[in-house]
A and B are shown apart, each in its own frame.
Chain A
Amino acid sequence: MAVLRSAAAFLYGRRGFYLALLLLPPLLWLGIIYLGSLFALLVQSFYAIDEFTARIVPVLTLATYRQLFSHPANLDIILRTVAMAVAVTAAAAVIAFPVANYMARYASPRMKAFFYVGVMLPMWTSYLVKVYAWRLVLAKQGIASWFVDLLGLTPALEGALAAPVIGGPSLASSYIGMFIVFTYMWLPFMILPLVAALERVPGSLVQASADLGARPGQTFRHVVLPLALPGLAAGSIFTFSLTLGDYIIPSVVGAPGYFIGMMVYQQQGTAGNLPLAAAFSVVPIILIAVYLALARRMGAFDAL
């Protein structure tokens, strides 16, 4: 105790030393293990694999990136992943908006607390279990087809599944199904920043707009929506980046086409080509960096 006490007294007088002592262990951990690993990843992406021995040649080269960008199949994978990320982001925004708008501007405090818990619970429920649950829901004879049948919409569903590219033998093995699961997974990440942004819309502005003769729709379009834009941008960072990096959902639900994350996982695993896996994982980092720069200009970081 006496040691602790004199140590505390010693440190209190020396602010800088005290801070350095506190920061050193966590900084070493994240600096060496995390940043070091990211650096190792970057270095690996500049290595290449010897085609005859299938071993990694530790010489810096651009060959792996050339391989990545010269194969049309690889470009297809990148394009497919980005298209899915954009579609999921748009759908999440459309579904999240009414929920967030109700929570922020209409709900009573009690109702709002209920909705908060209601949004957080599924968000924190085991990720894998949710993916699995959707496989059950979307399977042939599953709840989704039972429900569609109940509504008498089976022909519409069959029509959608017969569509080229997005269709498939069942919802669980089509891009439509994958899109639903992705949207579901990241929806809370869109709702929460949107609520935060909408809460900050001053009620007086909405009133003023109504007093000046705007209909609710006009007020929404010209007053509420522009003010909620930073929240939308903040939420879209999550939906976009989470979709880009995921490899579990595309391998459990959906059509056979590859996604960036699956390529990373497969190349380092069964294919044993760590350099190509590393190069593939640099693609989402760059895409996310570009997206962050765009979102920042829309004020997304003020709404986080």
Chain B
Amino acid sequence: MRSRRMRAAWDRTTLGQKIAAFAGLAFLHLPVWVIFLYAFTTEDRTYQFPPPGLTLHWFEVAFARADIWAALKLSLAVASVATALALILGTLAAFALARSRFRGRELITLLFVLPIALPGIITGIALLAAFKMGGIQPGFWTIVVGHATFCIVIVHNNVIARLRRIPPSWVEASMDLGADGWQTFRHVLLPQIATALLAGGMLAFALSFDEIIVTLFTAGHEKTLPIWFFNELFRPRERPITNVVAVTVVLITLVPILLAYRLTRPNEPEDRH
């Protein structure tokens, strides 16, 4: 009798939990869908909801804008260079730190967390202070330096997590069977970390492409797509075009992130025993 009452209490708790959990999830998702809806609205002055009508017109208008294309190209270039730098430096660091023990290792590990542990504004203003003191003019390369600094951390985290999952006995077995260091790297380690490299690279690319907090400090007069977008927020006349760019930015960042998630996901929960 008592157990049945407890069972009912448990079920009620579960139902309440479920409703609260789904409400939380809905809260996280609704604003994103709003953007997709507004990109098609025919109303171009107010934020009227529901939209009075739907149109594809704004995509055409945005497509013809040279300033958007210039900003998009700059963002893609910055993200590519920053990602390439991060892949090299982050992977080197991951290989060095994955299984080694040496004095000062904790300190170095802390250094590799700091750029994402401290708020972006501190990285931004610190870089700006350094550029000012060094007499460096802000431009393309200062943006890249700022982005690469946090992208290194992302790649490092991804690769080191994978390296730690590779049993050391595999490397030993490879060497015992007569492979030299290079062959072991090429045929044993590299295939194992390839997807982690790809995932880390894609996350770094997406983060760089979307970055605004550091970039506003290091960009000088250059306009990346997020900076273009940020300026647009205070110039509400061209709202429908802003909406179209918003949808584009979401798609460009989300696709690599979803791929990265698929590549690094441990096996399906059902397979794990």
A residues sitting closer than 8 Å to B (CB atoms) are: 1, 4-5, 7-9, 11-12, 15-16, 19, 22-23, 25-27, 29-31, 33-38, 40-41, 43-44, 95-96, 98-99, 101-103, 106-107, 109-110, 112-113, 115, 117-137, 139-143, 146, 184, 187-188, 191, 210, 215-216, 241-242, 244-248, 252, 261, 264-265, 268, 274, 277-278, 281, 284-285, 288
Contact = CB atoms under 8 A, between A and B. Distances in A.
Nearest to A238: B117
B181 A125 contact: no
A125 B122 contact: no
Nearest to A1: B182
Contacts of B233: 131-132, 135, 252
A126 B246 contact: yes
B29 A136 contact: no
Contact of B129 (A1, A31, A40, A143): A40
B145 A33 contact: yes
Nearest to B14: A106
A221 to B, nearest CB: 13
15 contacts: A5-B180, A26-B93, A36-B130, A40-B129, A101-B21, A102-B20, A106-B17, A110-B270, A117-B261, A120-B261, A121-B29, A126-B226, A127-B212, A129-B229, A191-B24
B224 to A, nearest CB: 11
Contacts of B114: 30, 34
Contact of A30 (B10, B115, B121): B115
Most chain A CB inside 10 Å of its own CB: which residue of B122, B149, B210, B212:
B122
A12 B21 contact: no
A130 B210 CA distance: 11
Chain A interface mostly: helix
Interface of B: 6, 9-10, 13-14, 17-18, 20-21, 24-25, 27-32, 34-35, 38, 46-50, 88-90, 92-93, 95-97, 100, 102, 108, 111-112, 114-115, 117-123, 125-130, 132-133, 145, 148-149, 152, 156, 180-183, 185, 206, 210, 212-213, 216-217, 226, 229-230, 233, 242, 246, 249-250, 253-254, 257-258, 261, 268-270
Given A25-B92, A142-B47, A268-B128, A128 B249 contact: yes
A95 B92 contact: no
Given A19-B102, A248-B212, A277-B125, A34 B24 contact: no
B80 to A, nearest CB: 18
Contacts of B253: 124-126
Contact of A210 (B6, B27, B90, B181): B6
Given A141-B48, A187-B28, A281-B125, A102 B21 contact: yes
A118 B25 contact: yes
A102 B89 CA distance: 39
Nearest to A99: B24
A126 B249 contact: yes
Given A109-B270, A278-B125, A124 B24 contact: no
Contact of A22 (B35, B96, B102): B96
A12 B180 CA distance: 9
A133 B35 contact: yes
B269 A11 contact: no
A26 B93 CA distance: 6
